[in-house]
């Protein structure tokens, strides 16, 4: 990682940190998310409904630099949402977070067979993170990611399977099987 300090991953407390999460999400622009500018008031209900129960703060030198939200944890293919705040982007936190969540999910959830993440085709930094963390591109969805203005982008899905994580191998799907 290109930062002097290692990130700390600390569990978000929905009972006491809802306002902090609302401030964090509303205080930045998320250019590669469907809603790039979050309204503070839109965060409270999902927190109350439990949508952020499996969320972790990414902290660097005591400062909140990002979040990792894990979901579908009962499934054998959980997914995640990763957000790094603008001042902390490009410093290796995305890669550290994906490595951390991959180790957490395979290490703590024995039923997990694969982990999947999706991003917009033009999010080259996240696509690089996926590849560097052993994830393999498995799908390309043409015009599958609308933004708030209605513009549609292609989206791409990456995944890592438990076998590859355990062995350090990378197995690639056979896209030419027809």
What pTM was computed for the model? 0.94
**Coil, strand or helix: which one is 72?**
coil
Q: Which domains does the chain have, with CATH numbers?
A: 8-167 (3.40.630.30)
What is the structure's pLDDT at 3? 52
| Ranges of the chain whose pLDDT falls below 50 | 1
Q: Which long-range contacts (CB under 8 A, 24 or more apart) does 170-174 make?
A: 170/134, 170/136, 171/136, 172/136, 173/136, 173/138
């Amino acid at each position: 990682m290109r930062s002097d300090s290692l990130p700390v991953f600390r569990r978000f407390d929905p009972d006491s940190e809802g306002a902090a999460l609302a401030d964090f999400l509303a205080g930045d622009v998320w250019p590669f998310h469907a809603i790039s500018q979050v309204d503070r008031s839109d965060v409270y209900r999902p927190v109350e409904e439990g949508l952020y129960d499996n969320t972790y703060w990414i902290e660097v030198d005591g400062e909140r630099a990002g979040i990792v939200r894990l979901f579908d944890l009962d499934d054998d293919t959980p997914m995640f949402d990763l957000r790094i705040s603008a001042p902390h982007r490009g410093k290796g936190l995305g890669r550290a977070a994906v490595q951390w969540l991959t180790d957490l999910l395979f290490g703590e959830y024995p039923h997990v067979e694969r982990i999947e993440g999706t991003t917009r085709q033009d999010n080259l930094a996240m696509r690089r993170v996926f590849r560097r963390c052993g994830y393999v591109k498995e799908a390309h969805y043409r015009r599958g990611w609308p933004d708030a203005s209605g513009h549609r982008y292609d989206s791409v899905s990456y995944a890592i399977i438990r076998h590859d994580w355990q062995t350090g191998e990378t197995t690639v799907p056979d896209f030419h099987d027809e």
